[in-house]
Amino acid sequence: MTSIMIRLFFLSLLILALVLPACFQPKASSPAPSLAMPPAQPQDKPKPSASTEVPPAAAYPVPSEYRAMYADLMQKLTDFDSYLDSRKTSSTSKVTIAAELLTANSNIGENLFTDTNFQANRVYLDALQAINVTGVQVSIMYPLLTSDFPNQQKYLTFYKKLMQELRLRKLTVLVKVGNPFANSVYSDLIISFDDLTLEKYRSEKKAMVQLIAMELKPDYLTVCNEPNTEKMTMGILQTPAQYAATTQYILEGLDRSKILIGGGAGTWDDLAYMKALADTGLDYLDAHTYPLDYLYRFIDISDTARAKNKRLVVGEAWVYKLSSSDYGRLGNLAATSRIYGRDVFSFWEPVDSKFLAVLVRMASIYGYELVSPFWSNYLYGYIDYSDTTRGLAYRQLMQESNRVSGLNMLKSRPSGTGLTYKQLGQQYQ
């Protein structure tokens, strides 16, 4: 038994330290509305009160340079939680507690094919299930499963094998057809989009979605998300009408079987995208959230879905550790690593814990039936802020953070954030 554990330890650390940085997905800032101008918040918002209880988190001192930002983020969460107090009803719904399976994110590229990676996926899944996670999101990026993509069959074989593993574990599975961060420090993929047209994109994505539906058969299949991220990563910018037309084109003739088909956008994207998608044949709308300024957009999206009889999920979520001066940098891949490198530090644990508790509470009140936080590695570990770690480059920070979280996964030692999520999972089992 000891030799097996040692082997799994080194396998998981190798994958977590070397390939998880390739899962990083910076989000594009939306030109309309501007991130600097958050949407109007409900006028009947009551005075703040701390109503969402979370397990006590370790008291890591907040560095002086982050105290104002920390207080601002906590206040936004407290304000939104207080607003939820006014919306509590006896008809709150059950929420599937899910998480991103980072070791299966296709930004990893051909490292997915290795036996080492598959063992790491099993370790990761064991850790998630140990904290009551009952669903996973698997991100499969366009164009990896299109017919002309190199090693397309190997990618398909990996995901089919993974799906068998997920079914054996009786997990709810959401597959997201996302957009790769190719040709950057954040991905091992090298892909040219110079000749990509909207017509080609629609045709190839339709074929890829059909293949996923036929071969993988997930419970949920999100076929479009984050329109401004499409622009940043591939140069394709669609208006809300075009975005909906592309989605409807993908849906035509699709053999859905028992699969729920969805699409969505970020809360920071123009709400017109969600409204346009609500008029298509989708089963659900998929909302992603990162900037806390847009938490109230969940309410607008819920109203939009309800009016068109659509279901709802939160396919990605975490907290941007941002000051107001940082918002303008979000669409610049070269500048965002400094911002995203902040997530690794343990002093953020109470913020992340509070965020997950508030997010799941919101989901239960407003009918979001599944919630999947993206940075699931932090459910098992952070690193401490120090004179040494504060100066590390992004990839170094991620490697050290993933080393710590990998070790904690093998020791069944979740972080305070993970314990919060475990408690939320118990509530909805």
Average pLDDT on 312-332 reads 83
Question: How large a percentage of the chain has pLDDT more than 70?
Answer: 82
- φ/ψ region of 253 (left if φ > 0, alpha if ψ in -120 to 50, else beta) reads left
pLDDT band at 89 (very low <50, low <70, confident <90, very high): low
- Say if residue 120's pLDDT is above 80: yes
- Say if residue 322's pLDDT is above 70: yes
pLDDT for position 227:
94
Which has more confidence, 257 or 8?
A: 257
Rounded CA gap, 328 and 321, in Å?
A: 14
Which has more confidence, 153 or 339?
A: 153
Which has more confidence, 35 or 68?
A: 68
Cβ atoms of residues 368 and 94 within 8 Å: no
- Say if residue 14's pLDDT is above 80: no
pLDDT for position 83:
96
CATH architecture of 2-27+52-427: Alpha-Beta Barrel (3.20)
Rounded CA gap, 58 and 347, in Å?
A: 8
Q: Which residue has the tokens 């005075």?
A: 47
pLDDT for position 393:
87
pLDDT for position 300:
98
Question: How large a percentage of the chain has pLDDT more than 90?
Answer: 71
Cis peptide before 143 (omega within 30 of 0): yes
- CA quadruple 203, 208, 214, 219: dihedral, nearest 10: -110
Token pair belonging to 346: 């343990």
Q: What is the CA radius of gyration of the chain?
A: 20
- Say if residue 268's pLDDT is above 70: yes
Token pair belonging to 224: 């479009």
- Say if residue 236's pLDDT is above 60: yes
Please give the mean pLDDT across all residues of the chain.
86
H-helix segments, 308-393: 337-340, 349-366
pTM: 0.89
Determine the distance from the C-alpha atom of residue 155 to the mean position of all C-alpha atoms in its chain, rounded to a whole number: 21
pLDDT for position 337:
75
Q: Which helix (H) or strand (E) holds 384?
A: none
- Say if residue 18's pLDDT is above 60: no
Q: How far is CA 15 from CA 21, 89, 102, 154, 344, in A?
A: 10, 44, 10, 18, 17
pLDDT for position 43:
43
pLDDT digits over 176-205, tens only?
998 887 666 667 787 888 999 999 999 999
pLDDT digits over 364-415, tens only?
999 999 999 999 999 999 999 999 999 898 889 989 999 999 999 999 999 9
Average pLDDT on 171-178 reads 97
pLDDT for position 86:
87
Average pLDDT on 118-138 reads 98
pLDDT for position 66:
96
Written as one string, the DSSP assignment of 57-77 is PP-PPPPGGGHHHHHHHHHHH
- Say if residue 90's pLDDT is above 60: no
pLDDT for position 335:
54
pLDDT digits over 269-305, tens only?
999 999 999 999 999 999 999 999 999 999 999 999 9
Q: Which amino acid is at 185?
A: V
pLDDT digits over 25-67, tens only?
455 444 333 333 344 444 443 333 444 555 545 568 999 999 9
pLDDT for position 91:
61
